[in-house]
């Protein structure tokens, strides 16, 4: 396999793992966010603790892994994105599906990170309300 294909395979594997963890953990996060707090602030401590644990053990690590992977791949993606403008006609530039799939993988990683940021903001908002 080529270097680009190896990078694509590795990034797709990381994306698959992150997406699987996201989908497995999503019901717990949604359940904690849907849980109603008590009107008595002292009774909300178990829910606050649960929300903090979910953020620390699930949301932040997933976001860190997704961002790290995207940052690692960004230089390669930048070269791919600018290649049509820097390629001279005599270089025999051609469409490369591996490079296109690399861009798609990074876009999906970034979308996953955006979803995680939205969840983190929701958890923080919920904690502030409790």
pTM of the model: 0.86
Cα-to-chain-centroid distance, residue 20: 11
Convert the pLDDT of each residue in 62-121 to its tens digit.
999 999 999 999 998 998 888 777 777 667 777 778 888 999 999 999 999 999 999 999
Give CA–CA dist 66/113, Å, rounded. Answer: 6
Number of H helices, E strands in the chain: 4, 0
Q: Quick check: 12 and 106 in contact, CB under 8 A?
A: no
**Terminal CA-to-CA distance of the chain, rounded, Å?**
53
Give CA–CA dist 130/117, Å, rounded. Answer: 20
Convert the pLDDT of each residue in 25-79 to its tens digit.
999 999 999 999 888 888 899 999 999 999 999 999 999 999 999 999 999 899 8
């Amino acid at each position: 396999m080529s270097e680009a294909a190896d990078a694509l395979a590795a990034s797709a594997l990381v994306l698959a793992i992150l997406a699987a963890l996201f989908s497995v953990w999503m019901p717990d996060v949604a359940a904690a966010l849907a849980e109603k707090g008590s009107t008595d602030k002292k009774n909300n401590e178990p829910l606050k603790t649960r929300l903090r644990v979910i953020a620390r053990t699930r949301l932040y690590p997933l976001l860190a892994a997704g961002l790290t992977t995207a940052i690692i791949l960004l230089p390669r993606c930048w070269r791919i994105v600018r290649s049509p403008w820097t390629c001279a006609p005599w270089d025999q530039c051609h469409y490369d599906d591996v490079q296109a799939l690399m861009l798609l993988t990074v876009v999906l990683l970034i979308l996953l990170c955006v979803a995680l940021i939205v969840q983190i903001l929701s958890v923080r908002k919920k904690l502030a309300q409790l």
